[in-house]
Amino acid sequence: MIRSVRQFRRPLLFAAGWIFTALGVVGLILPLMPGTVFLILAAWCFSRSSPRFEAWLIGHPRLGPQVLRWRQSGSIARRVKYIACGSMLLSFAILTQTSAPPIALWTSAACLLAAGFYVASRPEG
């Protein structure tokens, strides 16, 4: 069983890397979707499945700088922090306008607050 899991690990991580790369590119185009997070996840997947594509992503002139900044210092640009926190706030505001049960609202609020505090606490590069 363990051998079969290991056998599929690299191809699954490779596929996930491309899915995250696609989501990251979409996130760079759409203002409310966080592209950098997906690019960081893509780089992680590629680092464990394809060093060639990891190098391509990090060396890409448009996609690579954010991933490289994160790897070197764990920093997030101030503009990106504002966009991320604003998107989280907008997402919660939209959620409050739905018929979501109170437990979903409280759970979402707690998760978004934790994520917001984490983003805000990162150094600015």
Residue 70 to residue 72: CA distance in whole angstroms: 6
pLDDT score of 82: 87
Q: How confident is the model at residue 5 (pLDDT cuts 50, 70, 90)?
A: low
Does the model's pTM come out above 0.75?
A: no
Encode pLDDT of 29-77 as tens digits.
Answer: 876 677 888 899 999 999 999 999 999 999 999 889 889 888 899 888 8
Estimate the crossing angle of helix 35-49 against helix 64-73, to 10 degrees.
80
Quick one: CA dihedral 116, 120, 123, 125, positive or negative? positive
Residue 16 to residue 86: CA distance in whole angstroms: 27
Tell me the pLDDT of the chain averaged across its residues: 88
Domain residue extents for the chain: 2-73, 78-121
pLDDT score of 88: 87
